[in-house]
Structure formats: C-alpha cells, structure tokens
Structure 1
Amino acid sequence: MGRKEDMAKLANKLMYIPEYIRNIGIAAHIDHGKTTLSDNLLAGAGLMSEELAGKQLVLDFDEQEQARGITINAANISLAHEYEGKDHLVNLIDTPGHVDFGGDVTRAMRAIDGCIIVVCAVEGKMPQTETVVRQALKEGVKPVLFINKVDRLIKELQLGPEQMQKRFMKIITEVNKLIRQAAPKEFKEKWLVNVNDGSVTFGSAYCNWAISVPRMKKTGITFSDIIKYTNEGNEKELAKKAPVHKVILDMVIKHLPCPSEAQKYRIPRIWKGDVNSEIGKAMMNCDPNSPLGMIVTKIIIDKHAGEIATGRIFSGKVKPGDEVWIVGTKTKRRVQQVGIFMGADRENVTEVPAGNMVALTGLKEAIAGETICGGDKPIHPFEAIKHYSEPVVTEAVEPENPRDLPKLIEVLKQVAKEDPTLKAKIDEETGEYLLSGMGELHLEVVAYRITHEKGVPIKTSEPIVVYREGVSKVSPEVEGKSPNKHNKFYLTVEPLEDEIYKAIKNGEIPEGRVKSKEIAQKLRELGMDKNEAKNVEEIYQGNVYVNMTRGVVHIGEVRELVIEAFHNVVDKGVLTKEPTIKMKVKLHDTKLHEDAIHRGPAQVIPAVRSAIYAAMILADASLYEPIQKVFITAPDDYMGAVTRLLQQKRGQILDIKKEEELTTVVAKTPVAEMFGFASDIRSATEGRALWTTEQIGFERLPNELQKTVMRQIRQRKGLKPEPPKVSDYV
C-alpha cells in the first residue's frame, strides 16, 4: 500500500506547522455510525479500499469490537487532506459510544481540540450523544455536526425535501441547546453549529456521500437530487459528486481550531498550574522550542513493543533517547521509540513536536491520565481526568488451568494499566484475585480480552461486595488464657472515637507504631482520654491498640506478640473473617509466667486473639457495608422514576439541585444494591440520565439484613453458617 508510506512522509513534514494540524475526535451515541465514518475518512486518504469503507471497520481492529459491532477502545490515526490547495494533517480519534466505556471517551477528549458530533437522522439526539458532547464541551473541545443515515430517511421513512429539512432543523436546534448549556462561557454563541456556514453536513457514511449547504451552492446538487439518486439506487454517482471524506474533512479544517489557536483557551481549562510560568506560556503558545509538556491519554500493550503510551504534546518535542519526567511517580525515564499511528499500525519517526498526537515506548510507570514533561523538575500535573463512572462491581477471577496463575497475575497488572477504570488486587483472606470495573459489560469485555488476547483462559465469579466488622459498645473485661494456662490477659474492646478515625483515614495521624509525643497530643485534642492517649502503642488499618498495664514484669518481652495478635484480629474479624473497622482494643492487666520458655508466640498470640474475639462479641460486633454517594442528573420529567428507583435500592436522598431543565439528585446507597444499576437507571429514564458514584466509606448494615448477609459470607468462605459464641473463645 504505497499511499501509507507517502502519508507517513507527508505527516512527518506537516507536523511542524501547527496551523495545518487538526486534532479531532468523532463522538456519538452507540451505533450512530462513528466508526463507519472514520473508515470513510481513511478510504479517502487511501489507507483502505473505498469498496470496503463502512463494511471493514478498520478502526475496530480488535476482534471483539468487530464481533460486537461496537467500538471499545479509542483508536487514533493520522490522515493528510488537501484544503484550498494546501495539505493539512488531521489526527483522528475514534471513541466508544457505549456507557460502560465512558472512561475511554473522557481520556480521548483531553487530547483533541475539536470533534465531529455524529447524530443518526432517524433516531435524533440520544442520551449518550448528550453525555459525550457535554464531556467534550467541558474539556473545551469545539463541535461540528454530521447528520448521518440520511439514506434511511429517504428509503425507510420516505420523507420529501421539506420534511427532511424539518427533521434536520430539529436535530440542529437540540444540539445547539446543548452547546448553549455546556460550552465555556465565552463560546456559548460562537460555537453554535449553523447550516449556512457549513458547520453542519448531512449524508450517509455507509453510502459514502455527504453534503452541506455551501457545497450544494457550489455543486448545484439539491435535496430533490439526493432523493432521486437514493431512490434510483445510484448512490455511487452521488458519492463521486460529494465524497463523504472530502466534505467532512473540509468542514473540519474550516471550522475546527488548530493546536496553536486551541491551546490558548484550553490549557487554562485542563491544566491548573501557573499559566504565566515558563511551561504555562509554552503550552498556551504550542511552542516546540521549550521543555516538553504532554498528557498520556491511553496505554496500549503491544505483543512486540511492550507498553505504548499514546497522548498529546502541548509544548516542546520528544525524540528517542530523551529523558522525561513521569510526574505522578516523580521518576525519570528514557524514551525508546517515538511514533505516530496510522490505524492499527504505528510508524516510527525521529521526533514529534508540540500540537501532535504521539506514541511512546519506554515509559514503564506511565498510566492513562499521567503528565509527562522535560526540564529539571516535574511540572504541575494536568488535573485528574474525571471519568463519568467509577468501578462498582468486583468479580473474583481464576485461571482455568492452575499452571497459568503466574501469567494471570502479570496480565491483571497489564489490563489495570491499560484501563485506569479497572482495579485489580489480591484478597488476602481467600487468596482470590479480584477485578473491579465500571459495570457488567465492562468486566465481561475485560474477561474476554484476558482469555482471547492475552491467552489466559479464566473463570469469573458472580459480583461480590467486601464488608467490614465493627463494634457498637464497650465490652466487659475479658480474660484470655494461654493454651498452657500459665499466662492470662485482661482486655476490653470499644468503638474508636469518630474524629480520631477520620484523622487516621485522611492521613493526619500516621498508621504504625506510635513513638512520638505529638501523636498522643493530637489524640487528646481529638477527644481521647489523656491517660489512654499516652499509652496508644499501635494504629493499624483504622484500629487502635492501647496498653494500659502498670508495673507488669516481662510485659516488654511479649509486647510484639500482643501487637501481632491485634493485627490478626483486624485482618480477620470474629463474625465473617472480614477486616475490622474503627475499633479500640485496651489491654488492662496481664499475669505472665516467670520462665520465658512458657510465654512464647504459641502461648501469647492465641490467648490475646481469642480474648479480643470474645470481647468483640460482647461489644455487639456487627457487619458494616460499603456506601456510595450517587449523583444522578436527568431531565425534570424523569425525577419521579429516579426517586422511586433510589427507594428500591435502600437509597437515602441527601440533596436535590435544579439547573435549567435538568435536576441533579444526590443520594447515598449501599454498593450491594448497585448491581445492575446502569441498566435500571437506563430503563427508568430511557437512557437520559447521567450518573456517577463515589465511595464514602462504611456504615452499619441494617439489623434485618445482618443475619442473612453474615450467613452468605460465612458459607462463601467455607465457614459453618452459625456465627461464633463467646464460649468458643474463653
């Protein structure tokens, strides 16, 4: 394919002239024709055959995307296009329209300055269109509009020229209403799309044609001609007169900004550093002769090249051998290869300057959303990319063949890196490998990838929630005896003060051994008894151990063993072996055997552990469940449906805010009730709701659910269903 090599040469030349560059995305609702349009743009550039355009789906180069017919990754590609006699370089990112892959869309929006909104002429503006367009506008990305599938209006709905124009005007009005609501203040009017200036085109990506009002004037084609060509099955003729790639890319170059123009207003929106600093000015001016400033939008793991970090360069340039900072980890790494993307292929180049998309290898620690820079010290990071959903579902994964375990561990690290909305960890309790993601489809796709792409066949469990155990009152003093009956420990358990727990959780009070007087002072200020505060010896996972003994001989020799027993209990509580939360353990007195040989680990640890377990039961030990804050934004008409759904989910409404025709409800709901929420909320609001969640910690599980949930967890862990009694321990 000779055109590909020529394209790479041309791209190499054009990337040094920012005025001739456009970084754009294509955004739409699922199945409105984004990928088909991308393929047509590729065909026009000679990167695939025109016959196949729209059928081949080059950008869906992942087997699974082609099978499901939906785009899951944001793919990039560079194209050259001649406009008014001058060559331009268009860097294109194709983004998914399915709600579970919203993470990819958000990251892609960071890298682009303009986007083509694709709307289906038959279905009109859909909820995901709204979500994606809002996201684009929030990142300072300028829109143009392509109304697709016009052939269906003619063939299926048999609309005449007038009705067709009416239908287009309705879509344009809705899109403009959205732009007015969500665009940055200074662009609310400037960015509106308009039929007369050509920032709106209509056409059929599948049939390879598109037209705009200015182009109609130029070519003399009318709506009646379009209807005639389509009804006679003569779309090829139409595609010759008005080829989709030419019309769309002309619109892109005329109406969407070049990097040097866009970065002036986008950098202050997406970078919270000092815009008057050297790097701030360099990025706003898209200056290639200054230190490097770039953001990684995606990590791709390639069988041959390893980890490829793709992203957008805002200032400076990058070439193989450069030492760069990975800002999040404050480490320096040497760039190995520098490339640009041509569809699924990466072409290596000698350097890439500001204003372009780039693919780098050698940056082992980089993750999506990471800031990369040159210079002597790391710059202020780009603000964390806001994802429109957070991981809510956890599944245990295991290899079908136990021999694949080491390989699976490696692969889990890779997938979590490629997709920051995934979390992978080991459950120390059960030894299970847990994978958390943004929804059922998300985890299903990841499981498919692990099996088919990474070559490790796996089995997954039903989704599960992790609970905690805590106490709600002060226990009486409990005596724990060592197995040889020669050592006795007297202790109590009680809930830890709220303020102290908060301070430990947000890092004001460090975890670990307590050695400094300042910590005792801080504990007193937060409401702990003075005598207790000075005797706190260990803080572990939000739980506290206090040694209140006085004048006990040999206590120093068993101190480490007592603390080890305390750790054992915190890691595995008494009721279900889930971790404990917000608990204070106080040792009041102890009687120890004279002879060290009779007070070793095998005597002390079980004595202390069983005493704490018994005290927990006496202090009303119960289960605590993870709680999420849920933010749901939907048109006013759907508020009834939203509040009903929240009530079914044991939700509690905290706040309701109104903004024009949209209302946002803030509620808290248990994570356990959130399975299937994406499809529930989609059906309750006909897909018109935007929702996000954030973890807010743990709350006590309601009384009526304690027994059932406890039994379920115990059975899952292979424990006998009945919870333990005090007599089991002392």
Structure 2
Amino acid sequence: MASSTEKVQVEYRESVQSKSTTDSMATSPNNLNKIYITVEPLGEAVSKAIEKGDIGANDDFKIRARKLADDYGWDVTEARKIWAFGLGPDDSVNMLVNQTKAILHLVEVRSHIIAAFQSITKEGPISGLPMRGVKFNIMDIVLADDPANMGANEIVETTRRAINASILLANPGLLESVHSATIQIPETASSIASDIITKRGGNIFSEVKAAGASPYTIEAYIPAKKSSGLETILQTAIKGQVSVQLVHDHWRPLEGDPLDPESQIRNLAIELRQEKGLPAEIPSAETYFDKA
C-alpha cells in the first residue's frame, strides 16, 4: 500500500548470511531427548516466490517439491520433507525441513518442533524481530523410549534453544525495508530532487516527463529509514508542488555483524532489543546449545 512519507514506520527483519558452522544440539530437561539443528539462507529467489504466493504452506507437497526442484534447484526428495513455513504474514518466508531418516516416535513430537520453529521465526534471537529467508534443518533427533517423556514441556524449549544457537552460528544479520518511491515535481526542480534523493541513500531508476503540464516523475529506491519526512524536505527545497508515494519493495541486508561489539549494526540491534523490552546484551550461541 502506498503511503505518505511524513511518518514512516521503519521495519527490520532478522536473517542469516551463511550456513551455521556446526549442528547445534540441545538436550531436554529430563535428559532423554536431543535435537540437532542447522540453519542456512533460503535464497532470495525462493524467498520472493513465497512472498508472491507462488510457493506456500497450503500447496500440495508433491507439486511444491517438483516446483522447487525444477525452478530453484532443490533436491526433490528434500523438498518433499518441508514440515512448515513461518506462521504469520511477517515471518512466513522461512522453512522448516526434516532431514532425518527413520526416527522412531517422530510423529509424536512433530507439532512441538513446528511450534518452536514458528515461535523463533516470529521473534529471532538478535533483536526479537520476525525472521526472513531462513531454512531451518532438523539434522537428527534422539527421543525417549516412552512417548510420555517427550511432551511439549520437554521438546518445545529444547528445540528453541537448538534453533537459536544455530542462528547465532550462521553469520546472523539485520535486513532493512527499502521503499519504492514515486515522486512528482516540477521539471525545473528535477536536479534538486535528484540530489536530495541521492544524499538520502536513494537509487533513481526512472525519470519521466509527461506531455503538457503534467509533473515530472522520478522513481527511486530509498531505505525506509531515510524516507521519513522526504516530502517536506523536497517541498522546502523546491518551493513548489510535490507529491511522494511510498510502497515497500524489497529487503536489503545491513552491513556489519551484530555480534561484533565494535560494529554500528550492533548498536541498532541493541536499540531494537530495548524497544521490545529485552535485555540489551545479545546472547551468544553458547547460551543455548548443549555440548555433546
């Protein structure tokens, strides 16, 4: 939906930039269950296909697997083992894949593992934000002999810990929303507008002069954070009629490592944590996983 630029809600997402460096294992409180998780980037092509509705949780699993194999290079057998997607509109662009084989009692814990996965995609470990573009792999599970010892109280938080550790071992980062801006101004002010857009981190991709007295139209990509107040700034500089419409277009990774105490992105991650009432300190992977 297009919107004014006077008060833009800046949105961020959490993601990962590489495959986790090792399987992350967590043990249940009763010490009878273990789960091993890895995570990796889902890939932008698949992520966009989910956002467009070309791939989704409600698809026939065989048809979806064939599409992933034919169009995106997935192994068709692996693609048939997708268990779940993120649950809400903000975190649907994530997949949980069962990579295990012949695990006894797996059906007993499937819903618990999915619940843990979907809780993390809603609130990731860096800043408590929705996650985007992550593939979560269940690599192995060791389960108790008696199903009574593998209830939700044993499995959900255990899985959450393994997932969080995997994310923190996969070069985690933040994504920022980038808007597509349609800006209409007098043609005589085109150079002034272009300079302002560029200084605010924008990338102009189209400039059109319509026939007659119609306004000059500039289209540009601008980070959401730099979009707020753009219309007022242009009006002040141009002293003429200005119209700015914004719509979210894509996500862009922010530079830096939020786990690096010296990086600027860490300061942003901490600020976002505090806005959500979380402790300022970003947890380490060691906070979550257990040693074999």
Question: What band does the TM-score fall into relative to the shorter chain?
Answer: 0.7 to 0.9
Contact 2:185 2:240 in 1 (8 A): no
* Alpha-carbon distance in 1 for matches of 2:55, 2:228: 35
Tell me which residue corresponds to 2:2: 390
Which one of the candidate residues 15, 30, 40 is aligned to 1:470? 15
Q: Are 2:253 and 1:700 aligned?
A: yes
Structure 1: gaps of 5 or more residues: 1-388, 393-437, 441-462
* Alpha-carbon distance in 2 for matches of 1:671, 1:687: 24
Query: Which string of whole-angstrom CA distances, capped at 9 and with x for unpartnered residues, describes residues 128-158 of structure 1?
Result: xxxxxxxxxxxxxxxxxxxxxxxxxxxxxxx
Tell me which residue corresponds to 1:532: 78
Tell me which residue corresponds to 2:221: 668
Give the drift of 1:689: 2.5
- Describe how 1:330-729 pairs up with structure 2 within 5 A: 390-391=2-3, 439=6, 464-475=9-20, 476-512=22-58, 516-527=61-72, 528-540=74-86, 541-659=92-210, 662-703=215-256, 705-729=264-288
* Alpha-carbon distance in 1 for matches of 2:194, 2:282: 36
State TM-score, norm by structure 1.
0.36
Give the drift of 1:648: 2.8
Query: Which string of whole-angstrom CA distances, capped at 9 and with x for unpartnered residues, describes residues 435-459 of structure 1?
Result: xxx645xxxxxxxxxxxxxxxxxxx
* Alpha-carbon distance in 2 for matches of 1:627, 1:687: 26
* Alpha-carbon distance in 1 for matches of 2:71, 2:24: 27
* Alpha-carbon distance in 2 for matches of 1:696, 1:525: 26
Give the drift of 1:716: 1.2
* Alpha-carbon distance in 1 for matches of 2:264, 2:203: 17
Letter in 2 for 1:699: R
Distance change in 2, residues 1:558/1:515 (3 Å): farther
* Alpha-carbon distance in 2 for matches of 1:511, 1:465: 28
SS at match of 1:553: coil
Query: Which string of whole-angstrom CA distances, capped at 9 and with x for unpartnered residues, describes residues 197-238 of structure 1?
Result: xxxxxxxxxxxxxxxxxxxxxxxxxxxxxxxxxxxxxxxxxx
Tell me which residue corresponds to 1:235: none
Structure 2: gaps of 5 or more residues: 87-91, 257-262
* Alpha-carbon distance in 2 for matches of 1:585, 1:546: 6
* Alpha-carbon distance in 1 for matches of 2:70, 2:15: 24
SS at match of 1:521: helix
SS at match of 2:245: strand
* Alpha-carbon distance in 1 for matches of 2:177, 2:52: 17
Give the drift of 1:674: 1.7
SS at match of 1:559: helix
Distance change in 2, residues 1:653/1:708 (3 Å): farther
Contact 1:629 1:695 in 2 (8 A): yes
Letter in 2 for 1:676: G
* Alpha-carbon distance in 2 for matches of 1:616, 1:483: 22
Query: Which string of whole-angstrom CA distances, capped at 9 and with x for unpartnered residues, describes residues 454-480 of structure 1?
Result: xxxxxxxxx742311111111121112
* Alpha-carbon distance in 2 for matches of 1:612, 1:472: 15
SS at match of 1:526: helix
Query: Which string of whole-angstrom CA distances, capped at 9 and with x for unpartnered residues, describes residues 583-627 of structure 1?
Result: 110111111111222211111111111111111111111111111
Contact 1:499 1:526 in 2 (8 A): no
- Describe how 1:83-162 pairs up with structure 2 within 5 A: none
655-664 vs 558-567, greater mean Cα deviation: 655-664
Contact 1:504 1:511 in 2 (8 A): no
* Alpha-carbon distance in 1 for matches of 2:270, 2:108: 40
Query: Which string of whole-angstrom CA distances, capped at 9 and with x for unpartnered residues, describes residues 146-188 of structure 1?
Result: xxxxxxxxxxxxxxxxxxxxxxxxxxxxxxxxxxxxxxxxxxx
The alignment-based identity, stated in percent, is 27
Letter in 2 for 1:390: A
The count of corresponding residues between Structure 1 and Structure 2 is 274
- Describe how 1:63-78 pairs up with structure 2 within 5 A: none
Letter in 1 for 2:138: L
Letter in 2 for 1:511: A
Query: Which string of whole-angstrom CA distances, capped at 9 and with x for unpartnered residues, describes residues 497-532 of structure 1?
Result: 3222222111122335x6531111112122222232
Larger radius of gyration: 1
* Alpha-carbon distance in 1 for matches of 2:60, 2:37: 22
* Alpha-carbon distance in 2 for matches of 1:493, 1:709: 23
* Alpha-carbon distance in 2 for matches of 1:486, 1:696: 47
State TM-score, norm by structure 2.
0.87
Give the drift of 1:705: 4.6
* Alpha-carbon distance in 1 for matches of 2:60, 2:97: 13
- Describe how 1:256-271 pairs up with structure 2 within 5 A: none
* Alpha-carbon distance in 2 for matches of 1:508, 1:664: 32
SS at match of 1:594: coil
CA RMSD of aligned residues (A): 2.0
* Alpha-carbon distance in 1 for matches of 2:255, 2:171: 14
* Alpha-carbon distance in 2 for matches of 1:562, 1:726: 19
Give the drift of 1:483: 2.0
* Alpha-carbon distance in 1 for matches of 2:143, 2:15: 30
SS at match of 2:271: helix
SS at match of 1:486: coil
